[in-house]
Amino acid sequence: MATVAALQMTSGPEVADNLHTAARLIAEAAEQGAELVLLPECFGAFGAASLTAIAAAEWGVQRPMRRFLAEQARQHGIWLVGGSLPLPVSAGGKPMACQLVVDEHGHEVARYDKLHLFDVDVADNHGSYRESRDYDFGDRVVCIDSPVGRLGLSICYDVRFPELYQALRADGAEVIVVPAAFTAVTGAAHWEVLLRARAIETQCWVLAANQVGEHPSGRQTYGHSCLIDPWGVVQQCLPAGEGVLTGALVPEQLQGVRARMPITRHRRFALAAQPLPPGKESTEHE
């Protein structure tokens, strides 16, 4: 049995302030026995006007968020999944919404760049979201071995695209992480049902860490970070406020669900190769 944790934050534009809050919550999660801790999307900078400068710093020698993740992982002897941070693939390039996985020694063991960017209109006080203005598209599905099971990586808007999660299951995923900054409007409508659907159809644990409340930019996010089991039951939920959600992953529960309902053997349609975003070429998995 493994213990995992999701952090729920109300991040703002100041990196130092966000990292101070994250450090406090990570310490709390470690005290509760978490072996793997998931931070929300944009944990280190939310609504920052200087996204290009922040991304350049993460690529250069300063690397404040990347150093923070490494130091915290080493200090507490845990794996950290940095929900997302702006990080280019080359010096001066357009940033990706990048998720880094850091092991207990502080080593970056995986990188996932968000595949689906949030270019939508929402009936809230922000109105229009065009993530592709600031970020480039990722082009790889990433699934890795971890102390809590084989870990599938995804970010926020990805959760609306079930083919990604089928690809993660096909690559052996047992636990799928979903760091997010789901808006209050879309969260109230779709957050739980989407997460439960992804858990049910993949027969995986789903650990989701969301931003919460009203941010300095005026944006409002939904919270309700949660842990969902492979049968689709919400085992733990943190509806509101900054905090830590912890829960246990029971291997026998996942094995039992898959044995009683072997959906991968019953599938009649092969998983088709998905087209890459425009301008992208396929690369090998890490």
123: which DSSP letter? S
Q: Is 41 annotated in the active site?
A: yes
DSSP secondary structure, 47-90, as one string = S-S-HHHHHHHHHSS--HHHHHHHHHHHHHT-EEEEEEEEE-SS
* Exposure string for 64-74, b = 16+ CB within 10 A, e = fewer: bbbebbbebbb
End-to-end C-alpha distance for the chain, whole angstroms: 27
Report yes or no: 40 and 83 within 8 Å, Cβ to Cβ. Answer: yes
Give the C-alpha separation, 234 to 166, whole Å: 20
Residue 114 designated active-site: yes
- The active-site residue out of 156, 204, 226, 242 is 156
Reduced to 3 states, what is the DSSP secondary structure of residue 157? Answer: helix
Both tokens of 198, joined, read 């992804």
- Catalytic residue among 35, 41, 58, 174, which? 41
The strand pair at 36-38 and 79-87 is best described as parallel
Asked if 160 and 194 touch (Cβ cutoff 8 Å), the reply is yes
Question: Of the residues 35, 58, 114, 226, which is catalytic?
Answer: 114
Which sequence positions are flagged as catalytic?
41, 114, 156
